[in-house]
């Protein structure tokens, strides 16, 4: 279901905010096409496209998942029993390509409803987490902090961890602590130097006292390549697979039992230690797609999970 925020009492057609909201209502709630809206409001189709995009950017439109699918609910209950979870949220669908968005929409709603005043929220990065921005409802909180848990990449295409952390913080009026470093550095010595001598130690201290940790999980499979897998070479991916890696958690590559594999990349990763993430008050693992099932299982074995957000494809694979 799509919900639209009320933005004021003005109904004048000349009011940009009112026009934007009218266009959004006609498109999302009434199902009119962009052409029909342009004809009804007397504006160009290009203006309609711009108004709809701005409404999404401003948070005046949020996509919510309402109701409960019986099969998804049953899968969630089985996952809770199988993995000792407090909560499992299963989004409908088994399409690998659609999994990040399905999981992300559910994650955005969860965060909107659960983040409170005075909390420290640690966030990772990935397609599912980025997709959560679509359904993340802006709610002003007091004394809340958002902390990046992992470094990023020099070349950012469709998304990057700094932007994700910043936009989550902005939604909650929270202070934002950015992990200003690449995901992988050239040596373990450089890693230590950046942490101890370049100001990242404050971020690591916050990472040891998280109220909520939100992480995605990546895979080394062809269907479910993670952001981390895309940042490394084909040779390194082959080496990781040979070492038993099934996926990554905050750019640390894990085997099926959740242990970090023996590979140089794991000694050069710039992220808050997984042991610290595991000690968060509430750990949220958000990832979907059947190809990521082994990696999701490894992540839960490594850091535990209070809440798992996934899709039907991954849920069925995890239970199978």
Q: State whether 254 and 297 are in the same domain.
A: yes
Please indicate, yes or no, whether residues 226 and 94 belong to a single structural domain of this protein: yes
Q: Domain holding 27: CATH number?
A: 1.10.10.10
Distances (CA, A) of 183 to 162, 186, 270: 12, 10, 5
Mean pLDDT, the chain, rounded, equals 87
Q: CA 63 to CA 54: how far, in whole Å?
A: 15
Report the predicted TM-score, pTM, of the whole model to 2 decimal places: 0.79
Q: Please indicate, yes or no, whether residues 102 and 193 belong to a single structural domain of this protein.
A: yes
Tell which of 18, 39, 63 closes a domain: 63
Predicted pLDDT at 136: 92
- For residue range 243-275, what is the model confidence (pLDDT) as tens digits? 999 999 999 999 999 999 999 999 999 999 999
Using alpha carbons, list the distances in angstroms from residue 39 to 16, 61, 108, 230: 17, 22, 34, 45
What is d(CA 126, CA 104) in angstroms, rounded to the nearest whole number? 10
pLDDT band of 57, cuts 50, 70, 90:
confident
pLDDT recorded at residue 282: 96
Whether 160 and 183 have beta carbons less than 8 Å apart is answered as no
Indicate whether 140 and 28 sit together in one domain: no
Q: How many domains does the structure of the chain reveal?
A: 2
Pick from 264, 263, 265, 261: nearest CA to 295: 261
Q: Are residues 96 and 146 in the same domain?
A: yes
Classify residue 143 as left (phi > 0), alpha (psi -120 to 50) or beta.
Answer: left
Which domain covers residue 131, as residue numbers? 70-319
At 163 the pLDDT is 86
CATH number at residue 130: 3.40.50.1360
Closest C-alpha among 290, 228, 251 to residue 102: 290
pLDDT of residue 159: 64
Query: Looking at the structure, do residues 56 and 145 belong to the same domain, yes or no?
Result: no
pLDDT digits (tens, 9 = 90+) for 204-247: 999 999 999 999 999 987 655 577 778 888 899 999 999 999 99
Question: Do 57 and 87 fall within a single domain?
Answer: no
Beta-carbon-side half-sphere exposure of residue 69 (alpha carbons within 13 Å): 12
Q: Which residue, of 12, 39, 63, is where some domain finishes?
A: 63
Whether 84 and 150 map to the same domain: the answer is: yes
* Chain center to CA of 163: 12
Whether 30 and 107 map to the same domain: the answer is no
Position 2 pLDDT exceeds 50: no
For residues 220 and 160, membership in a common domain is answered with yes
Clarify whether residues 40 and 120 are in a common domain.
no
**192: buried, middle or exposed (CB in 10 Å: 19+, 13-18, 0-12)?**
exposed
Same structural domain, 205 and 76: yes
HEC string for the chain: CEEECCCCCCCCCCCHHHHHHHHHHHHHHCCCCHHHHHHHHCCCHHHHHHHHHHHHHCCCEEECCCCCCHHHHHHHHHHHHHHCCCEEEEECCCCCCCHHHHHHHHHHHHHHHHCCCCCEEEECCCHHHHHHHHCCCCCCCCCCEEEECECECCCCCCCCHHHHHHHHHHHCCCEEECCCCECECCCHHHHHHHHHHCCCHHHHHHHCCCCEEEEECEECCCCCECHHHHHCCHHHHHHHHHCCEEEEECCEEEECCCCECCCHHHHCECECCHHHHHCCCEEEEECCCHHHHHHHHHHHHHHCCCEEEEEHHHHHHHHC
Q: Which of 38, 63, 88 is the last residue of a domain?
A: 63
20 band by pLDDT with thresholds 50, 70 and 90: confident
The pLDDT value recorded for residue 4 is: 41
């Amino acid at each position: 279901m799509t919900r639209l925020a009320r933005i004021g009492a003005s109904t004048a057609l000349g009011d940009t905010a009112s026009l934007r909201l009218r266009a959004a209502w006609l498109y999302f709630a009434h199902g009119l096409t962009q052409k029909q809206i342009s004809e009804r409001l007397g504006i160009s189709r290009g203006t309609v496209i711009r108004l709809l995009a701005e409404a999404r950017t401003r948070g005046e439109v949020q996509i919510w998942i309402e109701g409960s699918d019986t099969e998804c609910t049953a899968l969630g209950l089985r996952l809770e029993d199988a993995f000792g979870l407090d909560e499992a949220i299963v989004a409908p669908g088994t399409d690998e390509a659609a999994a990040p968005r399905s999981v992300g929409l559910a994650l955005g709603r969860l965060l909107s409803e659960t983040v409170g005043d005075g909390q420290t929220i640690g966030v990772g990065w990935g397609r599912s987490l980025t997709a959560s921005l679509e359904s993340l409802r802006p709610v002003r909180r007091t004394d809340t902090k958002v902390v990046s848990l992992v470094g990023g990449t020099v070349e950012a295409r469709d998304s990057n961890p700094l932007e994700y952390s910043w936009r989550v913080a902005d939604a909650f009026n929270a202070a934002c602590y950015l992990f200003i470093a690449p995901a992988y550095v050239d040596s373990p010595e450089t890693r230590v130097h950046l942490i101890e001598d370049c100001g990242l130690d404050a971020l690591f201290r916050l990472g040891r006292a998280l109220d909520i940790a939100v992480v995605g999980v990546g895979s080394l499979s062809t269907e479910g390549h993670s952001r981390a897998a895309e940042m490394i070479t084909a040779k390194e991916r082959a080496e990781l697979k040979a070492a038993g890696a099934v996926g990554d958690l905050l750019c640390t590559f894990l085997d099926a039992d959740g242990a970090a594999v023996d590979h140089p990349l794991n000694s050069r990763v710039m992220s808050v230690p997984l042991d610290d993430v595991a000690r968060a008050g509430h750990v949220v693992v958000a990832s979907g797609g059947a190809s990521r099932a082994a990696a999701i299982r490894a992540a839960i074995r490594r850091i535990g999970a209070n809440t798992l957000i996934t899709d039907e494809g991954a849920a069925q694979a995890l239970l199978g």
